[in-house]
Each structure stands twice: as C-alpha cells, then as structure tokens.
Structure 1
Amino acid sequence: MKTQTTHATTKKQSLLPVIFLLILSLVWGSSFILIKKSLQVFTFEQVGAGRIFFGFLALGFLAITRAKQIPKAQWKYVLAMGLLGNLFPAFLFAIAITQVPSSVTGILNALTPLFTFLIGMVFFKAKMQKGQLWGLLLGFVGCVGLSLVNSNGQLGQLNYFLLFVVIACLCYATSANIIKTHLSTIHPVTLTACAMILIGPLAATYLFSSDFVERIQTHPDAWFSLSCLIFLGTVGTGYALILFNRLVQTVSPVFATSVTYIIPIIAVMWGVLDQEQLFPLHFIGMALIIAGVYVVNKFRNVA
C-alpha cells in the first residue's frame, strides 16, 4: 500500500512540470495578440511600461514580507533578473509588434531555449555535445529565414524590427541562467515579487508622465485595450512568472524555456483568428526553429 501511494505521489510530481508548461504556453502564447490589441490605443512605450506596472500591482505587495528572505549579496541578481527577464523584453516586444505580425513574433520567440543553452555554455560553464551544434544551426537558419520573409511571402530584405525580438529572447535566456545559477534557493513567489518591486516604480514613473491617462479618457477603444494590457501585466508578466521561475528552479532553464515549443502554435492560432497573413516560409522558419530546440534538448538529455 505504501509503495502504491509513493508511486502515485511520484507520478503526480512528475506531471506538475508538464501542467505548468502547458499553462505557461497558453498564457504567453496569447501575450502577442494582447500586445497588438493594446497598441491600438497606447504607444509601444506605454504598453511596455504598463505591462510591468500592472505586474507590479499584482505582486509587488508580496515583497513587503518576503524581501528579508533574500540575502543582500543576491539583490543584484534579482535586479538583473527583473531587468532582463521583464522590463527590457516588455518594451522590445511592444516595439517589434508595431511592424511585425503578432504571430510571427510568437514564432520567433521560440529562439529562447536555444539562446538559453548558448548563454549557459558561454557564460555559465554548461557543457555542449557535438549534436547540439546542429540544433543551434537549425534554429538560427529558421530565424534568418523568418527575418527575410516580406509582405508577399517571398524572401526579401531583412525586417530589422525582428531584431528586437531576437534581443528580447537573449534577455530571457540570460535571466533564466541567472535564476538557475544564483537564485535557485529562493522561493519563486519571493523572487518574482521582489523583482517587480525593483522595476515597477521605474515603469510607473514613465507611464504616468506620459499621456496614458488622457488616452484612457478620450480614446473610444481605450477600455478594451486597457483590459488587454491589465491581463498581460497581471497574468502574463506577474503570476505566470511564478510558474516559470518554479520550473527553472526545480527542473532546468532549458526545460522551462521549452515552453516556446507550444507558444508559436498558440500565437499562430490567434494570428489566424485576427486575420494576419502567414505564408509557407513562415511555417518553414517555425519548423526549423522548433527542430533546433528539439535537437538541443535531445542531445542534452543523452549527455
């Protein structure tokens, strides 16, 4: 009887990371269309700052009682995590979606696990298997291909706004490695809340020094865009980060950022529903990136 109970508990524990991964995929896969709808009323700077501000409102109060759990020497890593894992990407994705379909942005976001592995190898002493090089090459070929697809579905000039997505993925990847290397002993709720308390006031200062409130009062679609922005901040940037940080701590940065296997599918579904135009080359690029992530993870598990 005891053996059966232990087996059931172990099975439940093994399923939890998968469940968390699916929830994160749904929430973050929807974030690109939410950014797009927020941009119908607000500037990209306001969307970036608003996303962080509402995440700060949702979680910042938790830092009041939890801040003392973080040793002084680790606060610099919490700040780095907040900037690289939250603040910078919020602005980078917003500016990218002003010129790139939200579905394509979601596809390119799948580079995050590849960058997580690459940065871990270069700066955090992670070991590399020979086969993983092929995964990186596949991912980068897919990235370049996506960046060259023009409005007619053919290969053309580089769309430089996609570089903002690439930089955001690099930020996410660096943050994931920082969490695993320096912050793995801190509770994910504490970690996320304290990161928000550091960057939230910065976002609020910019947001309310702009015409954000005036747009809410005067624009006919303001309340719809505002509701998208609030959901994006509270759920996508706030509560979902707790699940992500938990995955990084208990499993690995690469597994956690593998949420991007499913994110492109969700993003594409929303894009199709919103009548965004996608071409065969977009799907080829997505397939190459996801194949690259698969190969990197496969050889990592063999090692």
Structure 2
Amino acid sequence: MSTVRAQPRSTTMSLKSWAMLVLLGIIWGGSFFFARIAVSELQPLTLVLFRVAIAALALQIYLAATGVSFRAALPYAPGLVLLAVLNNVIPFSLIFAGQTQLGAGLASVLNATTPFWTVLLASHLTTDEKLSWNKMLGILLGIAGTAVMIGPGLFSGLGAPTWAKLALIGASLSYAFALMVAKRLRKIPPAVVATAQLTASTVVMLPIVLILNGSDGLFAFSAPVWAAVLSLALLSTAFAYLLYFRLVAEAGATNASLVTLIVPASAVLLGVLFLGERLEPIEMLGMVVIALGLVTIDGRLLDSATRAIGPKPSP
C-alpha cells in the first residue's frame, strides 16, 4: 500500500470528537453482549450476514429519507469493497468465531490492541499521523487498564484454544488496515461510506453463507436471538458506523481506533446499569488506568502541567 499523502494535522481531538468517541464506545460496549447471545444459535458467518445486511438496509432507507445520494460512492467502489472486507467481513467473522471459545473479557482485551496496530501502521503509511511518545504510552496504558479491569476473569480465558486468540488479534489487525483505507475515503460523506461498506459486505457474505451453510433453517432461531441480532445490526452497526466514519473524517485513524479502549469499560458499566451487576474495585482501578491512558494520548493536561512546572520567564 502506498503512502497516504495529506497535510499535517493536529493530533489533539476536539471535545466534539471526544464525545463521539465515548458515545461510540458505549454503543459498541453492548455488541459483545449481543454477539454472545446470537452465537448460541447462529453460525458465526450467518450472524455476520444478518448483521451487515440488516444494517445496510437500514442505512439505505436512511439515505433515501435524508435525500443523500448513494451515487457519491460509485467512483470509489474498489476502495469501498476493500474497506468492507477489512472492516466487516474479516473482523466480524474472526470475532464471532473466536467468541465461540473465548469469554467476553479476554476478547475485549485482545480487541483493545487495535490502536496499537493502528498507530504503528499510521506511522509508516501516512504523513499526518506519526508515532509520538504520548500516543504509544497512552495506548499501552489503555491495554494494561483493560487487562486490570478484567482481573481474574482474564486468566480463566487464557486456556482457550490458540486459534481463538489469534482470531481476535487478526480482527484487530484487520481493523487497523481498514482505517488506513478509510483515510482515503474522507471526501465521501460518512453516511455514504457507512452505507456502501455494509452494502458491499452483504454482497460478499451472501454467497459465502449460502455455499458453506446452505439456506435450510436460515431464519429459524428464537425471539431472544432475533432481538440480539436486530440490536447488533441497527444500534451497534448501522448507527455506530455513522458515528465511526464521521470520527475518522474529523479526528483521524489513530484517534478513531481509541474506541476499542473504551468498549470494555462501557461493557462493564452497562452490565452494572442494566443487569444489576456489581462494580468491583479491580474494575474501577482498570477504568482509572484506561482514563489515564486516554488523557496521556490527548496530551492537553500534560502540556498544561509541563507549562505550569516549567521555568518561569525572567522579569
């Protein structure tokens, strides 16, 4: 892949971008829960097909209702197909397959390595998102905080098959490469990118599922699983990708990838709020470490502190 040429930009995100990042993390925090329910009855590839197809249909309706033309995507068709494969087909398939053997805790930690791979790729393949000490330190703190937050539950998943762990790491790498492709598509409205990506993913997944799994019993699953699939498709995919591609356009690839550091914490908090789960001290400690990592990446507080304790100008 050739180097992406762009004008240097500030790596500090605006408050609006941070708000979108946090909201996206909350939405994707529920996706592991929905997926865990769905894979109890659905083959991983079939779940991928339902997730992207329902989301694509919803976004096509959204574009029609808002008067946004889908034609803007046509000149960029090859890039959008590549984006669909790297951002949906490969990672969704690997994550859902891995989750048949892994608990949500270890899956969240492995998924949280996405910013690490993204910052390494961006530093070599782009000119406007170079590696900096605060980014790398903040990302490592975020991954460490995720591991701390999972606590003993992380070790219970270490005995899972190696292929399942590699599947989650492969998904993170695929997401990182997808972000490099997404940077090239910033001229297209985010809603069109999201719709085109999911539509292309549907076209790719349909023959794969029919060939490998057949059509028998394709829609024969229980009401709770249907509810999980619809939640995964409409909330955690259609709406989430509208936010995601706007974030990529406004804040850059590396900053957008930071959402995977927020997802584990939001998943825990959602369990506390809606499932009556108890927030343990180790989880709170992990969230503090993740927050410290995000503050380190942002850099503004550190810059202010440095200026405050730095040498004072002579009178």
Q: TM-score, normalised by structure 2?
A: 0.72
Residue 177 of structure 1, CA deviation? 2.6
CA contact (8 A) 1:114 1:293 kept: no
Structure 1 match to 2:3: none
Task: Give the Å deviation of 1:117.
Answer: 1.3
Higher alpha-carbon deviation: 202-211 or 183-192: 202-211
Change (3 A) 1:289 1:99: farther
1:137 shift after superposition: 5.5
CA-to-partner distance for each residue in 1:202-223, whole Å, 9 max, x for gaps? 2233445536662643x5xx12
How far 1:122 sits from its partner (Å)?
A: 1.9
* Cα drift, residue 196 of structure 1: 2.0
**Counterparts of residues 1-303 of structure 1 (less than 5 Å):** 15-60=15-60, 62=63, 66-70=69-73, 72=75, 74-125=76-127, 126-135=129-138, 153=155, 159-160=161-162, 161-180=164-183, 182-208=184-210, 210=213, 214=217, 216-217=219-220, 222-269=222-269, 295-298=296-299
Residues 107 and 286 of structure 1 are in contact (CA less than 8 Å); yes or no, is this contact kept in structure 2?
no
Distance 2:145 2:15 in 1: 31
Relative to structure 1, the CA distance from residue 168 to residue 23 in structure 2 (aligned partners, 3 Å threshold; closer, same or farther) is: same
Letter in 1 for 2:131: M
Q: Give 1:258 deviation, angstroms.
A: 2.2
Q: What amino acid does structure 2 have at the position aligned with 1:169?
A: S
* In 2: Cα distance, 1:44 partner to 1:228 partner: 14
Q: Secondary structure of 2:105's match?
A: helix
Contact 1:35 1:228 in 2 (8 A): yes
Residue 286 of structure 1: how far off its partner (Å): 7.9
State the secondary structure of the residue aligned to 2:113.
helix
Percent identity over paired residues: 23
Give the match's secondary structure for 1:263: helix
Residues 108, 286 of structure 1: 8 Å contact kept: no
With normalisation by structure 1, the TM-score equals: 0.75
Kindly indicate whether the alpha-carbon contact (under 8 Å) linking 1:102 and 1:271 is maintained by their aligned counterparts in 2: no
Instruction: Flag structure 1 segments of 5+ consecutive residues without an equivalent.
Output: 1-13
Residues 105, 205 of structure 1: alpha-carbon distance in 2 compared, 3 angstrom cutoff: same
What corresponds to 1:3 in structure 2? none
After superposing the two structures, state which structure 1 stretch, 103-112 or 223-232, moved more.
103-112
Amino acid at match of 2:250: T
Q: Identify if the C-alpha distance between structure 1 residues 250 and 152 changes in structure 2 by more than 3 Å, giving closer, same or farther.
A: closer
Q: Deviations over 1:17-66 (max 9, x none)?
A: 34322321221000001000001111222222221222222224548973
> Structure 2: how far apart are the matches of 1:283 and 1:90?
29
Partner of 1:6: none
Contact 2:112/2:143, CA 8 A, preserved across alignment: no
Q: Which amino acid aligns with 1:90?
A: F
Q: Are residues 202 and 156 of structure 1, via their aligned partners in 2, closer, same or farther at CA, if it must alter by over 3 Å?
A: closer
Cα distance in 1, alignment partners of residues 36 and 102 from structure 2? 10
Instruction: Name the structure 1 match of 2:6.
Output: none
Alignment check: 8 A CA contact 2:24 2:243 kept: yes
Find the aligned partners of 1:239 and 1:15 in 2 and give their Cα distance. 20
**Which letter maps to 1:38?**
A
Task: Go from structure 1 to structure 2 and tell me whether the alpha carbon gap of 1:102 and 1:76 turns closer, same or farther (over 3 Å shift).
Answer: same
Judged with a 3 Å threshold, the aligned counterparts in structure 2 of structure 1 residues 152 and 51 are, in CA distance, closer, same or farther, namely closer
CA distance in 2, matches of 1:252, 1:69: 21
Unaligned runs of 5+ in 2: 1-13, 304-315
Distance in 1 of aligned mates of 2:195 and 2:154: 44
Give the helix-richer structure, 1 or 2. 1
Between the aligned partners of 1:116 and 1:294, the Cα distance in structure 2 is 18
Are the structure 2 counterparts of residues 65 and 131 from structure 1 closer, same or farther at C-alpha, using a change threshold of 3 Å? closer
**Over aligned residue pairs, what C-alpha RMSD do you find?**
3.9
Contact 2:52-2:237 within 8 A present in 1 as well: yes
The answer (yes or no) to whether the contact 2:116–2:140 under 8 Å persists in 1 is no
